Amino acid sequence: MPFLSLGEGCTLKRLEQPYLYNISKDELYEMDEEAFGFLSRCNRGEVVAEGLSSDAAEFVDYGLDEGLLVKTATPESRRVVEGQSSVPSLRYLELQISNRCNLFCTHCYLGDPGVMDMPPDDVFSTVGQFEEMQGLRLLLSGGEPMMHRNFWAINERLPDYSFRSILLTNGTLITHETARRLKVHEVQVSLDGMEDAHDSIRGEGTFGKIINGIRELQEVGIAVSVATMITTANRHDLPAMQEFLAALDIREWNVDVPCPAGRLDENKDLLLSPKEAGTLMQYGFGGYFHGSTGGYVCGAHLCAMMPDTRICRCGFYADKPLGFLREGLRTCWERLKLPKLDSLTECTNCAFIEECHGGCRYRAEKYGGSITARDPIKCWTYAAS
Ligand code: SF4
Ligand code: SF4
């Protein structure tokens, strides 16, 4: 008698609505309470795949086809952490586990590397709270997160959690050996142009190491995405990168422009005009963590935690923390009072507002002088599209 169980890599989440989350594929399926209850019973081994009503049989067939359900000879269950998200839900947590770095990139918004590692107990406490808050994607970043003294101990425990783990790295420490030890679902490497431009920003020989790292990761089945910061050094490389990355089978290509902060303040010649930056931001593909739902401005589901456990709206707001981990992740997150889109006075009549969400609020403040201003770079992106 076959039982029904959630498919490999699937779990259930209570965000603003009930969802099934396919962690392996990073796909979210919204459903009603009845379907959620049925899947919960499947996951407790209480449903056999025979004698179902025609509606239930149709739902099950769809789930089996999509890999969201499987038939098993004995009852099986996947990890589902019961709980309820805040509203808006915290879906993406960027954990800056270390401010150490092995590079000295000329455009780094964080400035010079430090020597601070987030204590492993704080890392595990945070990710446990994030999981209970129904989080979807953990972004392990830094500095260079692989420089954390306990990085490999943290890495070992990642498969225990019911979220997708993504390593945001400069990619230079990914080798044949390290790729085989990684337990993350995805690695995002930084590639800031073709070889000459990239190496001029990130250091001689780094391009070659990253490309080698990408191949090693793909050989062991880890998804790879790429992040690119557009500057005057690589402004002409975007078409060549597009072709190059298409051949590399990259999952996502996140293209952004650096904000005038950190070391970029000393290297302002790297900054493009808003018009050129915005026009070039048409490159790239795939989702991003800074998006929004529910009528909010950018980053409605994202927060960041610094190595000293300061919890912030995002990395750019590290100097305006919501609080510290000792107060609890949920408490800090719920202090975030995000503006609504209709408060963006300069965007109100824009035809792109539902897609653009007013762009980046940090850039709006930097370039437009106010949290309710428009993001001029995004305006150029949409004007050029
Ligand atoms: S302010 Fe900018 S960096 Fe921060 S969440 Fe919004 S889009 Fe992202
Ligand atoms: S394109 Fe410009 S005006 Fe329109 S929503 Fe975006 S930032 Fe606002």
Does 183 reside within a domain? yes
Determine the distance separating the centroid of ligand 2 and the alpha carbon of 112, expressed in angstroms.
Answer: 33
Question: Are 302 and 242 part of one and the same domain?
Answer: yes
Torsion angle in degrees (nearest 10) through CA of 112, 114, 119, 120? 60
Q: In the β-sheet with 223-229, what is the strand arrangement from edge to edge? A: 253-256, 223-229, 186-190, 164-169, 137-141, 92-96, 302-305, 310-312, 323-324
Mean pLDDT (whole number) for 246-260: 90
Boundary (domain end) residue, out of 19, 39, 72? 72
Residue 63 included in any domain: yes
Domains: count for the chain: 2
- On the question of pLDDT at 112 being above 80, the answer is no
Backbone angles phi, psi at 300, to 5 degrees: -70, -15
Q: Does residue 197 form part of some domain?
A: yes
| Ligand 1 center from residue 359 Cα (angstroms) | 8
Assess contact for 286 and 252: CB atoms under 8 A: yes
Can you spell out the DSSP letters for 155-173?
HHHGGGSSSEEEEEE-STT
Which of 35-44, 83-92, 311-320, 376-385 shows the lowest mean pLDDT across its residues? 376-385
Test site for ligand 1: of 139, 141, 290, 356, most ligand atoms within 8 A of the Cβ: 290
| Mean pLDDT along residues 264-278 | 87
Ligand nearest to the CA of 343: 2
- Asked whether residue 84 is assigned to any structural domain, the reply reads no
Decide if 23 is inside a domain. Answer: yes
Q: Judge whether 228 and 190 are in contact, CB under 8 Å.
A: yes
pLDDT above 80 (res 385):
no
Ligand 2 within 6 A of CB of 359: yes
Residue 86 domain-assigned (yes or no): no
* Residue ID of nearest Cα to ligand 1 atom 2: 360
Distance between Cα 354 and ligand 1 center (Å): 16
How many Cα atoms within 13 Å fall on the side-chain side of residue 190?
27
> Quick one: 278 and 313 in the same domain?
yes
Q: Are residues 31 and 176 in the same domain?
A: no
pLDDT of 71: 95
Between the CA of 204 and the centroid of ligand 1 the distance, in Å, is: 30
Q: Is 150 helix (H, G, I), strand (E, B) or coil?
A: coil
Looking at the DSSP bridge assignments, the partners of residue 94 are 139, 304
Probe target for ligand 1 pocket from 298, 341, 371, 381, with the most ligand atoms within 8 Å of CB: 298
Residue 261 and residue 150 in one domain: yes
Among 319, 339, 359, which residue terminates a domain? 339
Coil vs helix vs strand at 16:
coil
* 119 plus 18 within the same structural domain: no
139/46 same-domain check? no
Write out pLDDT tens, residues 57-102: 999 999 999 999 999 999 999 999 999 999 999 999 999 999 999 8
Q: 171-185, 246-260, 346-360: which has the highest mean pLDDT?
A: 171-185
Distance 348 CA to ligand 2 centre (A): 8
68 and 102 belong to one structural domain:
no
Please indicate, yes or no, whether residues 23 and 136 belong to a single structural domain of this protein. no
Q: Would you state the torsion angle of the CA atoms of residues 111, 166, 79, 40, taken in this order, to the nearest 10 degrees?
A: 100
Same structural domain, 56 and 170: no
Ligand nearest to the CA of 357: 2
Q: Is 375 in the pocket of ligand 2 (CB under 6 A)?
A: yes
CB-based contact 156:141 (threshold 8 Å): no
What is the helix (H) or strand (E) element at residue 37, kind and residue range? helix 33-43
Site residues for ligand 1, CB cut-off 6 Å: 290, 298-299, 302, 314, 316, 360-362
- Residue 359 maps to a domain: no
The whole-number pLDDT of residue 366 equals: 86
Structure tokens at 267: 């290297």
| Alpha helices by DSSP H, 90-205 | 120-132, 151-157, 176-181, 195-202
Ligand nearest 301 Cα, by number? 1
Closest ligand to Cα 302: 1
**Is 173 in the same domain as 281?**
yes
Ligand 2 pocket, residue 378 CB under 6 Å = yes
Q: How far is CA 59 from CA 9, 65, 171, in A?
A: 19, 10, 42
Indicate the average pLDDT of the chain. 94
Ligand 2 atom at minimal distance to the Cα of residue 351: 4
Q: CATH code at 300?
A: 3.20.20.70
Distance 77 CA to ligand 1 centre (A): 37
- C-beta of 353 in contact with ligand 2 (< 6 A): yes
Span 105-122, mean pLDDT?
85
On the question of pLDDT at 107 being above 90, the answer is: no
The answer on 165 and 206 residing in a single domain is yes
Rg (CA), the chain: 22
The answer as to whether 203 is a domain residue is: yes
Distances in Å between the Cα of 30 and the Cα atoms of 5, 16, 64, 207, 352 are: 18, 10, 17, 40, 25
SS (H, E, C) 298-362: CCCCEEEECCCCEEECCHHHCCCCCEEHHHCHHHHHHHCCCCEHHHCCCCCCCCCHHHHCCCCHH
Residue 382 beta carbon below 6 angstroms from any ligand 2 atom: yes
Task: Compute the distance between CA of residue 94 and CA of residue 209 in angstroms, rounded to an integer.
Answer: 25
By CB neighbour count within 10 A (0-12 exposed, 13-18 middle, 19+ buried), where does 210 fall? buried
For residues 154 and 274, state if they share a domain.
Answer: yes
- Helix 33-43 and helix 54-66: axis angle, to 10°? 70
Range of 193's domain?
Answer: 92-339
Give the domain-ending residue among 72, 103, 133.
72
Which ligand is in closest contact with the Cα of 299? 1
